[in-house]
Structure 1
Amino acid sequence: ADAQGRVLWRSGSPSVLGNADRLGFIEGAHWAEGAVGTNAIGTALVSQRAVQVFSAEHFLRTHHSWTCAGAPIRDPRTGQVIGVVDVSGPAATVHPTTIALVDAVARLAESQLRSEHDRTLNRLRALAAPILARMGSPALAVDTDGWVAAVDAMPLHNRILLPEQLTPGRVWLAALGMCVIEPLPGGWLVRPALGEDATDADQLSRVTLDLSNPDLPSLCLAGEFGSWRHDLSLRHAEILCALALSPQGRSAPQLADDLYGDRTRVVTVRAEMSRLRKQFTGLLAAQPYRFAGSVDLGIRYPADRRMLLPPSTAPVIRNARMAGPPSPAVRQDG
């Protein structure tokens, strides 16, 4: 179940699933304490520890034939509870080790999340280390939660507390004081601000959506502290191209129409935009979706516009292949 107690997935024998159906223990059901009273999912979320609820310990009489054990899962990056693992069944099948089982599964899930976070930090470190080496001044690279991936000529920090709404430029960080930051794929490049940085921090991030190579679209950023290039998947290249062609921004239904020719596919669009905004922190804004105002955006097209993202069947790309020059609000490179 998720952090609100809604059941996301379940599995079990047909007989047990049949009992669960009669109790409303199905995907999408809300099992928070405020919805159904004492139960392993909701009570584990409230107490933030593993619990076992047996028979009449359930608040609802209809659940007295049931037993369940649940344990919360925490995001190792933030410490926040992000879900619950639960084992439930007929009360006659209760076993004292079930609570230990769900707690072990929750810890295993956290271990996998921690390993994935380490892989993410390693990717950010590989990108940031050459930039830090060229800068010749104190700096560090952090992910979107403030975990430090790479540092040069500064005291070692495991994590830096970042403001909730962070944009490129000058910002006060409690651990470092006034800093100048620039976006990286999956994080930020951070340097303590010196007096001469006051005017540099006001410069726009120069970003280029490079579609000139039909087989290898990429996003490039050139800033005060260095530059990076990130290869794009076809879908992300389509989305960024659609946003670049509409500087005023696109709503989720409009983007769904751009990408699929179907305005109802907003859930898919929002999921993809969530991934993009996490990957390119500070470059993309929402409501509507658009490149942030702090971005000086340029596009590089193929010499033959008909070769724009050849595998793409998205309506916005098909139209762009036949279109004339882009909007004046977007810089055209090459």
Structure 2
Amino acid sequence: MDTALPSGANAREHAVLLRRVHDALLTGRPQPAPLRPVIEDSWGRMRQFGIDPDSAPPPRMARLDELQRYRDASPISEVLPLIRRSLVSVADEAEHIMLVTDASGQVLWREGSRRMRAVGDRVGLVEGAYWNEGSVGTNAIGTALVVGRPLQVYSAEHYVRSLHALTCACAPVHDPRDGRLLGAIDVTGPVSTVHPTTLALVNAVAQLAEAHLQGLHHAHLERLRSVAAPLLAGLSRPALVVDDAGWTAAAVHMEPVRRVLLPKNCESGNVWLPALGECALEPLPGGWLIRPGPEDRAVPSTVTLDLTRPGSATVSVAGDSGAWSQRLSPRHTELLLLLAVHRDGRSGTQLSHDVFGSDQHVVTVRAELSRVRRNLGGVIESRPYRFSDDVRVRVLSPESPLDLLPGSSAPGVRELRRRVSSEDLFDRSGR
């Protein structure tokens, strides 16, 4: 975890040093000490965004009706009581505030110390405000959402000077089913209260929330399994039952897949599904009955890897029977990006070097690609690993090379960041 205070450092003296580093870097003078790499990278993004550290505009705000809609749509709302029980009393006693955001950095809920709520009001740290990096500069919420891991930001590590009086600790919350980013939990307080254990506490609560979401998912699948059991018992041909998001609850006369990519605006009838081929879909309460038909070797004509939103990569496949889209975990995003660039294919050893920097992780690479291939049947080939020759592959990349999987430290991805600024490797968003 990225804690802000070096081991054994005096908090007040470190804050003074950070202010000197902040002044030096913004005026072009030699800096008295290096920034943490995660902060230095974020400041590079701030310069590209053109954010003024002395007169940054107030954060963008959502309307009240929009805020309620975002709250209702957030999966984190299902575990909000657990988060409140774990953090609100602690935040209140320590003169902090607790915040919960969505994946875009919008503050959905804020609770805690009255004194710190007043401070938050002055800097725009309020419900409905967007605290992503592009809105308010380097901060624990926005930067943790970009890099996808727990992060503490202290004093003058904030790019905007008006935030130097704050210390913040934030941990992202991911969907335990597929790793997609759901939002974040943050605790913010006065700079004088900085402590490394704050980040550990926030991260523990985020992990607890993810575990609870996993339990809710399993409970839903169990209910769906019970509903479908009498129907499946009477079938003599392969079939499976999935929930509305395509997660498998039960299967008969076939090897179950973990998840099926369902068409957008799914309707009953015959459709082609990745990994299964031609299938018949029938609605069930809370899910679908899928009956695979005769094997169909057709594959989608286009695969689109969308990397335009850091932390929320998706892969979409499109063919004659419709289109399907799936969120990607960080590791699967890295692997699909590398295969999209290397259309001639990569061996397991090459991908191990691309992702881990050594050939000691070939087994891990093969296991991850096995999961990818189960979800994208007919799209990814092996020996070597590659996209099928019949498939058109599009990669939608962010405008700035620095935003190309900014949370990835994989050597192959870092090399792509250097190349993408000088070569037209990908389709660009908005062009």
Asked if TM exceeds 0.5, the reply is: yes
1:41 and 2:137 matched: no
Task: Describe how 1:231-310 pairs up with structure 2 within 5 A.
Answer: none
2:111 is aligned to: 11
Matched letter for residue 287 of structure 2: G
Deviation at 1:194, TM superposition (A): 4.3
Matched letter for residue 187 of structure 1: G
C-alpha distance in 2 between matches for 1:170 and 1:118: 28
Deviation at 1:103, TM superposition (A): 1.1
C-alpha distance in 2 between matches for 1:4 and 1:153: 42
Match of 2:179 among 79, 99, 123: 79
Match of 1:139 among 219, 224, 239: 239
Match of 1:115 among 206, 215, 220: 215
2:66 is aligned to: none
Matched letter for residue 103 of structure 1: N
1:279 is aligned to: none
Deviations 1:217-264 (A, max 9, x none): xxxxxxxxxxxxxxxxxxxxxxxxxxxxxxxxxxxxxxxxxxxxxxxx
1:158 and 2:258 matched: yes
Matched letter for residue 189 of structure 1: L
Match of 2:290 among 190, 206, 220: 190
Match of 2:131 among 26, 31, 46: 31
* Contact 1:140 1:151 (C-alpha < 8 Å) held by counterparts: yes
1:94 and 2:194 matched: yes
C-alpha distance in 2 between matches for 1:107 and 1:144: 25
SS in 2 for 1:10: strand
2:122 is aligned to: 22
Deviation at 1:4, TM superposition (A): 1.1
Q: CA RMSD in A?
A: 1.4
* Contact 1:77 1:145 (C-alpha < 8 Å) held by counterparts: no
Q: Structure 1 residues 44, 66: closer, same or farther in 2, change over 3 A? A: same
* Contact 2:240 2:256 (C-alpha < 8 Å) held by counterparts: no
Matched letter for residue 193 of structure 2: T
1:181 and 2:284 matched: no
C-alpha distance in 2 between matches for 1:30 and 1:157: 38
Deviation at 1:162, TM superposition (A): 2.5
Deviation at 1:11, TM superposition (A): 1.5
Matched letter for residue 99 of structure 1: L
Q: Structure 1-normalised TM-score?
A: 0.56
C-alpha distance in 2 between matches for 1:184 and 1:76: 24
* Long gaps (5+) in structure 1: 196-334
Matched letter for residue 135 of structure 2: A
1:59 is aligned to: 159
Matched letter for residue 240 of structure 2: L
Deviations 1:18-77 (A, max 9, x none): 212211111111101110010111111111111111000111111000010111111123
Matched letter for residue 105 of structure 2: G
C-alpha distance in 1 between matches for 2:113 and 2:146: 29
Deviation at 1:122, TM superposition (A): 0.7
2:271 is aligned to: 171
Deviation at 1:156, TM superposition (A): 2.6
Deviations 1:69-95 (A, max 9, x none): 111111123321111100100000000
Match of 1:130 among 215, 230, 234: 230
Task: Describe how 1:295-334 pairs up with structure 2 within 5 A.
Answer: none
C-alpha distance in 1 between matches for 2:294 and 2:155: 65
C-alpha distance in 2 between matches for 1:66 and 1:122: 45
1:148 is aligned to: 248
* Contact 1:78 1:145 (C-alpha < 8 Å) held by counterparts: no
Match of 1:104 among 199, 204, 208: 204
* Contact 1:38 1:59 (C-alpha < 8 Å) held by counterparts: yes
C-alpha distance in 2 between matches for 1:157 and 1:192: 12
Q: Structure 2-normalised TM-score?
A: 0.44
C-alpha distance in 1 between matches for 2:231 and 2:214: 26
Using the TM superposition, name which of 43-52 and 160-169 deviates more.
160-169
C-alpha distance in 2 between matches for 1:163 and 1:78: 18
Deviations 1:158-188 (A, max 9, x none): 2223233422111112211111111111111
Task: Describe how 1:219-230 pairs up with structure 2 within 5 A.
Answer: none
C-alpha distance in 1 between matches for 2:257 and 2:130: 40
Task: Describe how 1:191-230 pairs up with structure 2 within 5 A.
Answer: 191-194=291-294
C-alpha distance in 2 between matches for 1:166 and 1:19: 47
C-alpha distance in 1 between matches for 2:194 and 2:145: 21
* Contact 2:250 2:256 (C-alpha < 8 Å) held by counterparts: no
Query: Which structure's CA Rg is the greater one?
Result: 1
2:379 is aligned to: none
2:12 is aligned to: none
SS in 2 for 1:8: strand
C-alpha distance in 1 between matches for 2:204 and 2:261: 30
* Contact 1:139 1:190 (C-alpha < 8 Å) held by counterparts: yes
C-alpha distance in 2 between matches for 1:71 and 1:163: 32
* Long gaps (5+) in structure 2: 1-100, 296-431
